[in-house]
Structure 1
Amino acid sequence: MMHHADGEVLGEFLVSARSLAEYRAMFHLSDDDLAGRRVLDCPGGAASFAAEASALGAEVTAIDPIYATPPTELAARATPETERAVAWAHSHADRYRWDWYGSTAEHAAIRRGAAARFADDVRAAPHRYLAGSLPSLPCPDDAFDLALSSHLLFSYADRLDADFHLAALLELARVATVETRVYPLLDYTGAPLDDLIDHLRTELHDKGIATSLQKTGYEFHHGADTMLTLRSAA
């Protein structure tokens, strides 16, 4: 249940339908990051990334607990879920910068288009969509070259503690042999999480995983212009 009265409490995790263009901007992705590479999108939500990036030659696997739902039902739910997420963003419009999209209407159009593409793909290529959730993924070590994770870690720091974040980041590093990229580094209210990020980077460094903060080409939430990058020292 979402409580709109106080404008702060987001009761449920939002299932968002983001596009390849948004992923490119959020994660600073180049064609070289995608073509011929094994890419994990976790949590995938109702994004069209797996469909669009696969068309560019990437081998994409999206993982999300919602994929335990049969593909036909997932396809049917994609649009209503997207409308819920769009409504949340538009009802809190002052928290966001709309310049990347141009307007709230263009934002809604991109999300609706992504939901439709996801709905088609989850029926046509269900093998791309695995049921699973952090911090324990149904994948062997080094199953991917690149792992992407958006709008779960940090976004829901109000209910996912530091231990969960560390376990999830270690799990992403376990399955991604080259690099993991995480965005955004704020919670969904826009609160900065510098202490949590510093703690996690120290813990990861102690475990042989190098981290860096990199600017992105995308800032939707005010101040959300940075991603966290993990690279194993091995």
Structure 2
Amino acid sequence: MKHHADGAALGEFLVSARSLAEYRAMFQLSDRDLVGRRILDCPGGAASFTAEASALGAEVTAIDPIYDATAAELAARAAPETERAVAWAQRHAGRYRWDWYGGTAEHATIRRGAAARFAADVRTAPHRYLAGALPSLPCPDGAFDLALSSHLLFSYADRLDADFHLAALLELTRVATTEVRVYPLLDHTGAPLDELIDHLRTELHDKGIRTSLRKLAYEFHHGADTMLALHTTV
């Protein structure tokens, strides 16, 4: 499975390049959430989050099945994948709210910058990028304090069923000792998934995992203004 490109209904999983600023907005991340914390980004795609957060003092590991390629291959692939995602978003600009970015040009600049930062980091610090996929991660229990997952769960609810979602969420709680944060809670067409979310929250509650929904100031895809948090600390 590959990381999702902004709601692109292209019939495949795509690699996206998102920045630390976007991660802060999507996941309500403060400096306290980042500095000195062990953080998992899964799936990481071509995001610059790992590089940027590591520079701030976080200990970040990104996991994605695309990382089974060489660092050179990943670096070379980041820019063309980003151009494809940027072009798609611009062709379908009406599906999105651009106010957080300022406009389509600013969005493209952020994504290109993130892809370049990822390409540089995967070459110089390849140990931060592990090949793997939900719902079975190559990590011991409690390897991280915080796990972040964007644009896979819920985004691909048309091809990943409720059992997959539950298994993936349980796996994220296995490896994260404090919290798991998931965004967005719509599918790639922008359709709400209230029934699926309610089902998963009930299943998690029955397994002793508390959940909460948090409203965000960030909303790119129309209606994608909510994050799901799983609280793994007893």
TM-score by length of 2: 0.96
Return the letter of the residue paired with 2:63.
I
| Cα shift at 1:8 | 7.7
Q: How far off is 1:93 after superposition?
A: 1.0
What amino acid sits opposite 2:73 in the alignment? Answer: E
- The residue that corresponds to 2:92 in the other structure is 92
After superposition, the Cα gap between the structure-2 partners of 1:8 and 1:59, relative to the gap in structure 1 and judged at 3 Å, is closer
Is 2:53 aligned against 1:49? no
Unaligned runs of 5+ in 2: 1-6
Query: Is the counterpart of residue 138 in structure 1 residue 138 in structure 2?
Result: yes
Q: Are positions 1:118 and 2:118 aligned together?
A: yes
Cα separation, 2, equivalents of 1:138 and 1:8 = 28
2:129 and 2:162 map into 1 onto residues whose CA distance is 27
Asked if 1:190 is matched to 2:183, the reply is no
Supply the distance in 2 between the matched residues of 1:156 and 1:134 (Cα, whole angstroms): 13
Contact 1:208 1:233 in 2 (8 A): no
Aligned partners of 1:126 and 1:8: how far apart in 2?
28
SS at match of 2:145: strand
CA–CA separation in structure 2 for the residues paired with 1:196 and 1:122: 35
Alpha carbons 1:210, 1:233 under 8 Å: kept: no
AA in 2 matched with 1:215? K
Q: SS of 1:160's equivalent?
A: coil
**Pairing 1:62-81 to 2, within 5 Å after superposition:** 62-81=62-81
**Unpaired segments of 5 or more residues in structure 1?**
1-6
Alignment of 1:148-159 (within 5 A): 148-159=148-159
2:159 partner SS: coil
Aligned alpha-carbon RMSD (Å): 1.1
Q: Tell me the CA shift for residue 12 of structure 1.
A: 1.2
Using the TM superposition, give the Cα deviation of residue 90 of structure 1 relative to its aligned residue in structure 2, in angstroms: 1.3
Among all aligned residue pairs of Structure 1 and Structure 2, give the percentage whose two residues are the same amino acid. Answer: 84
Distance 1:178 1:61 in 2: 16
Q: Residue 85 and residue 8 in structure 1: after superposition, are their counterparts in 2 closer, same or farther (change >3 A)?
A: closer
> CA-to-partner distance for each residue in 1:40-66, whole Å, 9 max, x for gaps?
000000000000000000000000000
**Which residue of structure 1 aligns with residue 27 of structure 2?**
27
Aligned equivalent of 1:213: 213
Distance (Å, rounded) in 2 between the aligned partners of 1:121 and 1:102:
27
- For residues 104-162 of structure 1, what are the alpha-carbon distances to aligned partners after superposition, in whole Å with 9 as ceiling and x for unaligned? 00000000000000000000000000000000000000000000000000001110000
Give 1:217's aligned amino acid. Answer: A
Distance 1:52 1:8 in 2: 26
| Count of aligned positions | 228
C-alpha displacement of 1:232: 2.1
Q: How far apart are the structure 2 equivalents of 1:160 and 1:117?
A: 30
- TM-score of the superposition, structure 1-length normalised? 0.96
